[in-house]
Chain A
Amino acid sequence: MPPSESTPRPVQILIVEDNPADARLVKEVMRDSKILNEIHWVPDGVEALDYLYQRGKHAGALRPNLIFLDLNMPRKDGRAVLSEVKADRELRRIPVVVMTSSQAEEDVARAYDAHANCYIRKPIDFEQFHQVVKTLENFWFSTVELPIR
């Protein structure tokens, strides 16, 4: 959806998630959102960084306003992506929502150590999942103020 003068720019959300069905679920919940949004999906950490640095096939990618980051992924996992993003002076402003099925308490602590903006355990129940995504959307796009760039 190309942005125009009359409509507001859609918020850009990047989902880093190796399970396409899981990524699609977020997309489906966001489909009937009041907030105009564009969802981009990459299946692993390597592509996530290509996307964020606009490399290769993601050369034309827009900088996301929010990142949903899974932890356990092939090639490069979410923990590595998180530390690289938070070490980068430009990218560190983008809120990163760690969203994972990991039950390990150590993962929670490490994510916050690496400056994750929040850590969410994926609810197993769909209704709760729906609720969580709505809450995140409401919080990050209506409640808080985000940097322009």
Chain B
Amino acid sequence: MRPAVRTAAALGLFGLLFRRSAPAAEPIDERARMLLDLPVGVLMLLDEDQRIQYANATLERFLGYSPSEIQGRPVGDLFEPADRARIQTLVHDHLPGDRTASGDFRGRRKDGTPVPLQVVVQSAVVAGMHGSKVSGIYLRDFAERERLVEALTLRGAELARSNRELEQFSYIASHDLQEPLRMVGSYTQLLEQRYGPKLDDDAREFLRYSREGANRMRELIDALLSYSRLDTRAEPFQRVAADEVLTLALTNLRGAIAQSGAVVHRTPLPTVEVDRIQLGQVFQNLIGNAIKFHGPNPPQIWVGAERRGAEWRFSVRDDGIGILPEYQERIFIIFQRLHTREEYPGTGIGLAVCKKVVERHGGRLWVESTGVPGEGTTFLFTLPVERPTLPVPRPEEADVRVKQSKVEAMSLIEERLKELV
């Protein structure tokens, strides 16, 4: 069980106990005690005079008092003198039935040392106690929260840095790899041009394979470069009509469309907030694939979008060769291909680019296909109707984001704490 869930469960049980059971002196079921004593925080029950009726075993670890020695003492004894009035007010003013009240306090251990505590109060009127008000108190080590904030902040900063490094790495690697490759390719070509006629068939074949290898590697490096540019050369999001973006993509594909005799059926698309170049790439890659992997007849392609709650769901459907379900995961991985280059040319970058773009925009991309030829393939992707509140950072914004991450971590923890009470 996650600590948060555990704590919530313990509090829930605690609530049940003090609402239903008779005075606190009555024995508590063993299973209930086990739960109450989970070392996640201090649980206490106070009577109307704010005297401690019950405390779980965690109290000793937190504050040094054993549950029995604290019984009957005012709750204020557990706090620094300066905070006593405040805690009394918090408990006193909290009305039965109110959700909860909470605050940060300075606790005081038995040995006199201070300890930061978060206090959560829940009150109820208990019939068994002659209709008097009782309060349940949950004490949580504040230092733990501080540590959590720190750890999260650090994690956020590390993540941002490693992301940035990764982006730089793939960009530099692909750029620097091009240089030696240019030499291999160029000199192989020069060799072929100048000495080809003097060489025998074997030598010319070997040279051809070298040149083809160099070309292939160049394609892969280009692909890697364009993939890494999705982050490094990203444009700010703008509101654009997806119809216009699609029209432009189809214009870019007009050669392939004319050659294959493809027919693209389109229905009106919404306006979305996107990097228009990147959305264009998604349309172009998906429709390009639909054309490339066609069946015996000229491809029929349907492009559309429908509203599903807070998202637009775009689809690109074709009547091509389909993709067997067992391969449907692999196709989104960079450089993964399902066919030989002789069957279908390509580097295996297109869908990886689509996936990265859609995810940058806060959406999802997936495929639906039976793999039966002629039944075709449908690629679906979502885009949020409203732009996500936290935009994906560009590398130059990463530093700012690291600074923000402490604030974000704080609010995340606040939220998590609210879930608990």
- List A residues at the B interface (Cβ < 8 Å): 19, 21-22, 25, 28, 101, 103, 122, 124-127, 129
B185 at interface (Cβ–Cβ under 8 A)?
yes
A101 CA to B175 CA, complexed, in Å? 9
Which chain A residues border B183 with CB–CB below 8 Å? 19, 21-22, 25
Interface residues on chain B, number (Cβ under 8 Å): 12
B181 at interface (Cβ–Cβ under 8 A)?
yes
Considering only residues 187-201 of chain B, those with a C-beta below 8 Å from chain A are 187, 189-190
Q: How far is the CB of B38 from chain A (nearest CB, A)?
A: 58
Q: Report 17 cross-chain contacts, Cβ distance below 8 Å, ordered by A residue.
A: A19-B179, A19-B183, A22-B183, A25-B183, A25-B187, A25-B190, A101-B175, A101-B182, A122-B182, A124-B178, A124-B181, A124-B182, A125-B185, A125-B218, A126-B186, A126-B189, A127-B189
Q: How far is the CB of B97 from chain A (nearest CB, A)?
A: 65
- Nearest CB to that of B175 among chain A residues? A103
| A126 adjacent to B185 (CB under 8 Å) | yes
Q: A103-B175, A124-B218 are in contact. Are A28 and B190 (CB under 8 A)?
A: yes
A122 CA to B178 CA, complexed, in Å? 11
Q: How far is the CB of A95 from chain B (nearest CB, A)?
A: 24
A118 CA to B185 CA, complexed, in Å? 26
Interface centre among A21, A28, A126, A129 (most CB of B within 10 A): A126
- Nearest CB to that of A129 among chain B residues? B186
- Nearest CB to that of A24 among chain B residues? B187
Q: How far is the CB of B213 from chain A (nearest CB, A)?
A: 14
5 interchain residue pairs of minimum CB distance: A126-B186, A126-B189, A21-B183, A124-B182, A25-B186
| A126 adjacent to B190 (CB under 8 Å) | yes
Which chain B residues border A127 with CB–CB below 8 Å? 189
A28 CA to B186 CA, complexed, in Å? 11
**Extra A-B contacts (18), CB below 8 Å, given A22-B183, A103-B175:** A19-B183, A21-B183, A25-B183, A25-B186, A25-B187, A25-B190, A28-B190, A101-B178, A101-B179, A101-B182, A122-B182, A124-B181, A124-B182, A124-B185, A124-B218, A125-B185, A127-B189, A129-B186
Could you give, for residues 158-191 of chain B, a 1 whenever the CB lies within 8 Å of some chain A CB and a 0 otherwise? 0000000000000000010011011101110110
